[in-house]
Structure 1
Amino acid sequence: MSEQLVHAGIHDLKRGYIEDPGLETYTCLICGYQTEKGFVYPEGTLFLEAEKAMRRHIEAEHGSMLSYLLSLDKKLTGLTDLQRTLIGLFHQGVSDQDIIAEIDGGSTSTIRNHRFMLREKVKQAKLFLAVMELMEEGGKTTARQPSGTATRAAQAKLPGKLGERLSISNEENAQILGKYFADGLYGPLKSLPKQEKRRVAVLRHLAGEFEEGRKYSEPEVNGLLEARYADYVTLRRLLIEYGFLDRLPDGSEYWVKQPDVNRKGNNDMKNQRRKELVEEYMNTPRPMGVFQIRNKQSGKIYVTSSTNLPGAFNSQKAKLSSDYHVSPALQKDWKTLGEDAFAFEILEELEPDPQAAHDLKQQKIYADKVAQMEKAWMEKLQPFDEKGYNRRPRNK
């Protein structure tokens, strides 16, 4: 889950994207996809302005914000498994009798009671938000003149003070990086450390990807960091907070804040390598195509597609782990057998034009092609009933 999603307002959460007036962009809260004002985005014979193109992206790639939010861990939403199921059915307009059949038990009075309890949660949530906002407003008033202790604590987090609080030997640094960059120092970050010493070591290593004295745009920073870790927004924020990077107030330019003077001997070679890595990443299209989730024991399959296969793999696993997958049969087997009993396998990849791999205007064209590929594989494999987990189309 992205940092932007965590801090988004209710209005933005409902529509699934945020607007940046300064950069004149719209950003998807789920995957980070952006559209920019002043550009048009083709969809078939139509040309869509930036905000409408963003709404179409969310609908095509993520289904709906309701489904995504309900797929989040229950610790985040505060909803039980039954409540999440019922909310989805209520949203679809399913009758109480059909809901009883769907959840395999209960009565119409039970369903009415669940509706009542959900409305009560809405009232409680509104009051809780009001209480918290009033608390925050009071905190700002009393915090205008911080104490000397608070000031010293804040100063202790500045870049120049990190060395006073944290001591990381070369041996420790190597061990930390070896653990969190299991595929090599130029590979992906396995996870973000919670312990501060380890986190600083990882951030210092990632900051080394940026050239000293060069100004970066936010998309360039995002591109470098996303190649290492899916939640690049959090990485970007932490690099700023710990003082490895700095930026203009509007986020239009980023740069290295604390150059490492000990690297001057090999600076030219490392800077050249970084340039090559950036160019390699930016010119490498994200894999897109059709894939299947295969039950290794029964052979049953679930077929789907995406214009971002790594992101789709993570999304499918998140939904299954949160017990909110669109296929009840697949969800049941996953819960019974566990993740290791399933294989994620690519059936066919789409090879986009290398010259336009990240051209936003091409995204809809790629999406249409991937959808046709999925249709062909569905007809070929027939992953329905005893053969698979997909729901058979109604017209068949």
Structure 2
Amino acid sequence: MVESVSDELLNADIHDLKRGYKEDSLLDTYTCLVCGYQTEKGIVYQEAGVFYEAEKSMRRHIQQQHHSMLDYLLSLDKKMTGLTDLQRKLIGYFHQGLTDHDIIAELDGGSTSTIRNHRFMLREKMKQAKLFLAVMELMEEGGKNAGRTASVPTKPSQSKLPGAPGISEDEREKIISKYFTAGPEGPLTSFPKQEKRRLAVLRHIAGDFEAGHTYTEHEVNQILEARFEDYVTLRRFLIEYGFLDRKPDGSQYWAKQPENQGKGKKNMKDQQRRKELVNEYMNTPRPMGVFQIRNKQSGKIYVTSSTNMPGAINGQKAKLASNYHVSPELQKDWKELGEDAFAFEILEELRPDPQSPNDLEQQRVYKEKVAQMEKAWLEKLQPYDEKGYNRRPRAK
């Protein structure tokens, strides 16, 4: 466990802490916050016959020498992070995207309610940390301004809150038109990788929820699925970025709408149109079945299934793009090789009955059929160890 860190790391801002290095615009250098390694702008660095510009080389250094900043920060002494050994383990598991049941298996005990409670407490700790940081920064600003007889007008800073990501109205409209090609009230064509665009898209979708109204998880899923097939990913990001909140048991959800949303006749028409889209989408059956993610270079595969394959494929891409995938090895290769090095291939498809979206019993039957199909393909392909990215089943 690391007990001491560099002064550069202790004095770094959140943005630099997350990426692991800082930029010096005067010296034109990038410096690793962990070990002090530097790269210089304008110089090309060669690694294994491949040339990288300075910042790309620094990112590769962080990955190769320190694996990830999350791993390094979790290795720090408790007195520096305030995290217990159990909390460090859980954060690592949450980052990998493990399900509650997988986490229980890794811990060799516990219950899903306990895991959910730990997740809730960590989020509460995060909120408290943000508030404490704001308080301390305001305190420092007050100290610096003490004794001044006159205030100097300053340029207002851009807000760091999720609802106001520091983009102009013109930029926002361009982003919305790019990702909602059928119009602002239509479906999301793809989930943005760039954070600024992601925030704009999430803020726009958050407008689908009425302020002051509570929703069940099923209602939230219906609203989001009309926007994007992988509604689970959308729901998670809306919660993580603070647009949606919920009770620890997931029984109720609610939203804090951005400014200028939820008012006027135009919004009433929008809400009605969105309800129509929800009903139309929910009454359209989606293809079900088993698919694989294949590494074109190594041939390794990851096999999974879904009763909504288009949504699941989008979800897998979103998780990989956001470093949330359940398979660490697949995530590592995706980051190194890029999306173009992988193929998404359907192994077996099940076409549902057109009436199945409204038949809960039929949906349960399909879910069981798809699970059996996945089991058969796992037994056939054995995508474990050197052959694949799936986690080998535990011996009963």
> Hey, which of these two has a bigger chunk of helix by percent?
1
Same fold per superposition (TM over 0.5): no
Relative contact order (C-alpha < 8 Å, sep 6+): which is higher? 1
**TM-score (norm. length: structure 2):** 0.42
**TM-score (norm. length: structure 1):** 0.42
